[in-house]
Amino acid sequence: MKRICPICEAGCGLTISADGREVIGIEANPADVFSEGHVCAKGIALKELDADPDRLRTPLVRKDGLLQPASWPEAMTVIADGLAAVRTEHGADAVGAYIGNPTAHNIGLSTGMGVFLGTLNTTNIYSASTVDQMPKHLASILMFGNAMAIPVPDIARVDFILMLGANPAVSNGSLWMVPGFRNKLREFHGRGGKLVTVDPRRTETARLSDHHLFIRPGADAYLLAAVANELIGRGVEPPAHMNCANWAQLKAALAAIDHESAAEQSGLAVEDIHHLADGLMKAERPVVYGRVGTTLQRHGTLTSFLVEVLNVLLGALDESGGAMFPEQPFASAAVSGSGMEYGRWRSRVSAYPEVMSQLPCAALAEEIETPGEGQVRALFCFAGNPVVSNPDSDRLAEALKTLDLLVCTDIYHNETTRLADVVLPGTSPFEDSHYDSFLGAMGWRNSARYSPPLFANENQPREWDICLGLAYVSATGNTPSPDDLRDFEDTVVAGAVARYTDDESGPLHGRDVQEIVGQIGPQAGVERLLDLGVRAGRWGDHFGRRDGLTLQQMIETPDGIDLGELRAGRLKEVVLHDNQCIDLGPAEILAALGSLGDEAPVKDLQLVGRRQAARNNSWLGNLPMLAKGQNPCVLQVHPEDAAALGIESGDRVKVSSATASIAAEAFLTDELMKGCVCLPHGFSEAADVDQRVRQPGANYNRLAAASEVDPLSITAALNGIAVTLEKTLD
């Protein structure tokens, strides 16, 4: 059986053998057109996840202070009553939602959750994006007027990559679906390519690179500005065909950052900056790429913007071998005015701007704590673990405990679900379908791939149905019967079709809704909306208007359908500003550049994160195949910093920030820049999450102050936290 792995953005094709309901083995699918035989240990361990006795299978409802197994109708009734009480007493905005990372890899959950959120009529929507990639979206909103216009390196043709704050050798790529990065890098080197990495740690990717530069956390904006200035000094201008506006303003603002200040802030030498600019200029097909280290930091949006400024100056944007805009088969119906999704409303307590209709995680605790109209009293958490992944964990956990209603949908018990009033279990990934509707637009190559559920589960609804049930409860106040749910699904599908037939720029404009509904594939569930989006898309059959892609074709092609290499010349489609120009000088960016010069170089010891090859953020820790080996949650310390503090490898160390103290075991390594310490995120000290194999560890985010943010997107600056170390005696 063929199946796409739903864990991370790489989306590897798997071959699965089973005996009845039992998975016997998992291996890479070499015929998969997109992943070409890549798999990692996590994908193989899905066998254990599927069988894990600790995985949730029954709803839980809090009774007498304890979470206890309950029936689905019982759980839904508790939710209906709780929701009605909060809304009646406190209004619509008192109900909030938190969207966790795995929703991006679960089409039933993400689409169904969208239906549910549509019924809430609340401004209090939070997601893992503001502890992750929101600066990228905001940079794209400001530059292109299009939050989803995030270019990826064209790894198949590029010959020089400047990579900042990313570790695809472990992460397998992010906002860049690139399964088998190491193999692709080998091919890249084979054709003479050069990779330069910029990171406070000599990462697994840095070790594979041709040159690695240590950088002080948060200082990338200085480096990128200095490189841009050098290119400008050598006569480089944005290419005319890119149609850029406000270049003169940007150029003037960049001029304030000279090589000396960039070197002082970043810890790089002035010659390093010259060399870097020189390498980029001389390369035939260069590209600049930045990821979590450039977004989860104090200048996230400015840094993300400057990454694309360099791609513009290098002539790499939207060109073969450069920073390209992938295309995916699934098309959403255009919603008018969706270009500038920034600052249309603000959070109640700190007046933080929304981005893409979401408020920042950094505001969640205060919005729960602070009384008044719009105070969050109920929260629906979908596939997330904010108590571990969000800043100021202790404060957030305390705030969540005060809610009138906390409903979590998860496949495991975690640090957040244990505070819930109701926990709804998602199924094993093998009992649900897969299509990457969000990240498909960031692939290294264009393709169409879909996996149907491998096994039926008579006892648990798919997450699409869970979310439809919640939406029904929210919309009507009643809990649905199975017939009610199917009627409701019909209404949702007809409503979705109407959005496409109303969309003047779409291929279904003006068509008859019922005619389209009648043609949508026979499968019930979220597959109907998938068929709709694919058939309305760039390769779709437009419902009988031409030969083209349908869900049925994807079902019949389990190795995926290759749709070819990335296409250049897409700027006209991608740039959505009214004047059709790339905006190089939005006021927010000019102001942010202006204030760079006022910052004193950081002298504190700074904490940065690292991802675990054998975990995904806070989950997968309960699978024996992945949990073997030494304690992964060690604090890496540079030997010189350690010597000054009398710390040795194996010592227990107290790590303190302005917010909290945590304890971790020290490990000395010169893979780290002097002046930095490094700890993985995703662990917690909690031992009572009903995951018997999982090891506890220090929760990084207890150290993060909610007030330390990128000032534009209000994404948490989780990298670069100022800390002190102290050897402890216990």
Ligand X SMILES: Nc1nc2c(c(=O)[nH]1)N[C@H]1C(S)=C(S)[C@@H](COP(=O)(O)OP(=O)(O)OC[C@H]3O[C@@H](n4cnc5c(=O)[nH]c(N)nc54)[C@H](O)[C@@H]3O)O[C@H]1N2
Q: Which residues bind ligand X (CB under 6 A)?
A: 8, 100-102, 106, 109, 128, 131-132, 164-168, 170-172, 174, 198-201, 203, 215, 217-218, 220, 291-294, 296-297, 383-386, 388-389, 409-412, 414, 426, 429, 463, 608-613, 615-619, 681-682, 700-701, 718-720
Based on the number of CB atoms within 10 Å of its own CB, is 174 exposed (0-12), middle (13-18) or buried (19 or more)? buried
Smallest separation (angstroms) from ligand SF4 to the CB of 39:
5
Q: Which is nearer to ligand SF4, 603 or 628 (CB)?
A: 628
DSSP codes, 202-267: --HHHHHSSEEE---TT-HHHHHHHHHHHHHHTT----GGG-EESHHHHHHHHTT--HHHHHHHH-
Q: Which is nearer to ligand X, 242 or 376 (CB)?
A: 376
CB 709 within 8 A of CB 360: yes
Q: Which stretch binds ligand SF4 (CB under 6 A): 38-46, 446-454, 558-566, 649-657?
A: 38-46
Q: Which amino acid is located at 161 in the chain?
A: I
Q: Which amino acid is located at 185 in the chain?
A: L
Among ligand X, ligand SF4, Mo ion, none, partner that 536 touches (CB below 5 to 8 angstroms by kind) = none
366 binds Mo ion (CB under 5 A): no
- In 121-214, where do the E strands start and end? 125-127, 152-153, 160-164, 194-198, 211-213
172 binds ligand SF4 (CB under 6 A): yes
Enumerate the H helices of 672-714 as residue ranges. Answer: none
Distances (CA, A) of 113 to 252, 427, 430: 45, 15, 20
Q: Which is nearer to ligand SF4, 7 or 566 (CB)?
A: 7
Distance separating alpha carbons of residues 160 and 175, to the nearest angstrom: 19
Which residue from 16, 23, 33, 40 is in contact with ligand SF4, where contact means CB under 6 A? 40
Beta bridge partners of 355: 342, 358
132 binds Mo ion (CB under 5 A): yes
Among ligand X, ligand SF4, Mo ion, none, partner that 141 touches (CB below 5 to 8 angstroms by kind) = none
Count the neighbouring beta carbons within 10 Å of the beta carbon of residue 729: 5
Q: Which is nearer to ligand X, 514 or 595 (CB)?
A: 595
Q: Which is nearer to ligand SF4, 39 or 158 (CB)?
A: 39
Smallest separation (angstroms) from Mo ion to the CB of 77:
35
Among Mo ion, ligand X, ligand SF4, none, partner that 328 touches (CB below 5 to 8 angstroms by kind) = none
Smallest separation (angstroms) from ligand X to the CB of 85:
25
Distances (CA, A) of 424 to 69, 116, 460, 476, 499: 10, 15, 10, 20, 30
272 binds Mo ion (CB under 5 A): no
Distance separating alpha carbons of residues 429 and 494, to the nearest angstrom: 28
314 token code pair: 């290098």
517 token code pair: 């509904």
157 token code pair: 């043709």
DSSP codes, 408-419: EEESS--TTGGG
318 binds Mo ion (CB under 5 A): no
Smallest separation (angstroms) from ligand X to the CB of 630:
17
Q: Which stretch binds Mo ion (CB under 5 A): 131-139, 177-185, 327-335, 438-446?
A: 131-139
39 binds ligand SF4 (CB under 6 A): yes
**What stretch of H or E contains 181?**
helix 181-190
Q: Which is nearer to ligand SF4, 9 or 708 (CB)?
A: 9
Residue with the shortest CB distance to ligand X: 293
Which residue from 42, 90, 395, 577 is in contact with ligand SF4, where contact means CB under 6 A? 42
Please report, in angstroms and rounded to a whole number, the separation of the first and last CA atoms in the chain: 52
Helix (H, G, I), strand (E, B) or coil at 3: strand
152 binds ligand SF4 (CB under 6 A): no
621 binds ligand SF4 (CB under 6 A): no
Smallest separation (angstroms) from ligand X to the CB of 407:
11
Smallest separation (angstroms) from ligand SF4 to the CB of 27:
10
Q: Which is nearer to Mo ion, 83 or 387 (CB)?
A: 387
CB 278 within 8 A of CB 196: no
Looking at residues 178 to 207 of the shown chain, list those that interact with ligand SF4 (rule: CB under 6 A).
Answer: 179
398 token code pair: 């305390």
Smallest separation (angstroms) from ligand SF4 to the CB of 381:
23
Residue with the shortest CB distance to ligand SF4: 43
648 token code pair: 């040795």
Q: Which amino acid is located at 179 in the chain?
A: P
9 binds Mo ion (CB under 5 A): no
- In 85-209, where do the E strands start and end? 95-99, 125-127, 152-153, 160-164, 194-198
Q: x-or-dash pattern for Mo ion, window 91-130, by CB under 5 A?
A: ----------------------------------------
Smallest separation (angstroms) from ligand X to the CB of 131:
4
Looking at residues 5 to 34 of the shown chain, list those that interact with ligand SF4 (rule: CB under 6 A).
Answer: 5, 7-8, 10-12
108 binds ligand SF4 (CB under 6 A): no
173 binds ligand SF4 (CB under 6 A): no
642 token code pair: 């350690």
Smallest separation (angstroms) from ligand X to the CB of 382:
6
Looking at residues 438 to 467 of the shown chain, list those that interact with ligand SF4 (rule: CB under 6 A).
Answer: none
207 token code pair: 């070790």
Give per-residue burial for 265-290: e unless 16+ CB within 10 Å, then b.
bbbbeeebbeebbebbbebebbbbbb
Contacts to ligand SF4 by CB under 6 A = 5, 7-8, 10-12, 39-40, 42-43, 172, 179
Contacts to Mo ion by CB under 5 A = 132
